[in-house]
Amino acid sequence: MNNGFVYKQEVHLTVLKTSVFFAGDGFAAYSSDGQLLLRADSYGPDKRHQGELVLTDAAGKCLLTLRRKWPSLHQRWEGFSGEGTEGQKPIFSVRWSSIIGRSSVTVEVYDDPGEEYKIEGCFAQRNCTIFNAAAGEEPVAEIRRKVDPSANVVLGREVFSLLLKPGFDGAFAMGLVLVLDQIHTDEDDHYFTNKGDDRRVRAEPISDD
């Protein structure tokens, strides 16, 4: 979706939640050398901004606009390229559903028919994997707790690692992080499961090289 954030090698980004007071109150993603790459500015508790999220690059250029779709039986978000002006068609959707205690998150990409992703794990614990459902459940990105290698200490949940597999769009992945944060806000401590499986994935922190 944005070639500027697609890498040929596996990449570890550090994601910082810029405020711990309000869910979804801003995120910033940094490269391994500390360079700011992506951010979602704070919108706080202001009701005017609920239901819309904006992801920008370090210079403030809008890359993705995410809007919650109303009405919807399940939580559904749509992603738009750039500022998502009126009449513009979404390029992907994220749908959360829960049936009899089992939850799932499905991502459908409209520009490429048949391209679909599933998210499994627990975002609340910063322990999720994004799978390419059309490629035999191949993992394309992971969210993990971050470890301070100097002290071998697991950091708080406001700082975590976003691991990108080669070829997977980092801006797209960060858009999914923003939506997962909103879903977690509404459905605290729900686990997202794949194939109707009710497994709970244990957190295994990954430290950057």
Those residues with Cβ within 8 angstroms of residue 181's Cβ, 6 or more apart along the chain or in another chain:
17, 23, 24, 27, 123
Peptide bond into 71 cis (omega under 30): yes
Q: Mean pLDDT across the stretch 180-199?
A: 57
Both tokens assigned to 11: 């990449």
Residue 100 is predicted with a pLDDT of 58
Q: Distance between CA atoms of 39 and 68, rounded to whole angstroms? A: 19
171 secondary structure, DSSP code? H
pLDDT score, position 134: 83
Which pLDDT value is given to residue 187?
56
Amino acid 180: pLDDT: 93
Residue 72: the pLDDT is: 64
The span from the first CA to the last CA of the chain, in angstroms, equals: 27
Total-model pTM: 0.81
79 pLDDT above the threshold of 90: yes
> Using only C-alpha atoms, what is the Rg of the chain?
16
pLDDT tens digits, residue range 139-174? 999 999 998 888 888 888 899 999 999 999 999 999
Q: Confidence band (pLDDT; 50, 70, 90) for 87?
A: confident
CA 76 to chain centre: 14
pLDDT grade, residue 111 (50/70/90)?
Answer: confident
Coil, strand or helix at 166: coil
Spatial neighbors of 160 by CB under 8 A, at least 6 apart, are: 14, 15, 126, 143, 144, 145, 146
As a whole number, mean pLDDT of residues 99-110 equals 79
Maximum Cα–Cα distance across the chain = 51
- Of the given ranges (32-46, 71-85, 180-194), which has the lowest mean pLDDT? 180-194
